[in-house]
Amino acid sequence: SRLVRALLIQHALTGSTIETDFFNEAAAIIEELLPLAESELGQLHPVTVDVRKQQGDLYFHKNDVARAHELYSQVLDESRALYDSGNIKIADAATAVAMVEMMSGGHEGTEDLFTEAIEIYQTTVGDQYPAAYNARTFLANLMTGQERHDEAEPLLRSVLDVLVQRHGNDSMQVLN
pLDDT in tens, 71-85: 999 999 999 999 999
Q: Got the DSSP string for the chain? A: -HHHHHHHHHHHHTT--S--HHHHHHHHHHHHHHHHHHHHH-TTSHHHHHHHHHHHHHHHHTT-HHHHHHHHHHHHHHHHHHS-TT-HHHHHHHHHHHHHHHHTT--TTHHHHHHHHHHHHHHHT-TTSHHHHHHHHHHHHHHHHTT-HHHHHHHHHHHHHHHHHHH-TT-HHHH-
pLDDT value of position 39:
92
The more confidently predicted of residues 120 and 134 is 120
pLDDT, average across residues 115-123: 94
> What is the pTM assigned to this prediction?
0.81
Q: What is the predicted pLDDT for the residue at 26?
A: 75
pLDDT of residue 170: 64
**pLDDT over threshold 80, residue 171:** no
Instruction: Give residue-wise pLDDT tens across range 5-20.
Output: 555 455 555 555 556 6
Q: Is 102 or 30 the better-scoring residue by pLDDT?
A: 102
d(CA 137, CA 157): 10
Going by pLDDT thresholds of 50, 70 and 90, the confidence category of residue 143 is: confident
Q: Tell me which of 154 and 112 has the higher pLDDT.
A: 112
> Is the per-residue pLDDT at 173 higher than 70?
no
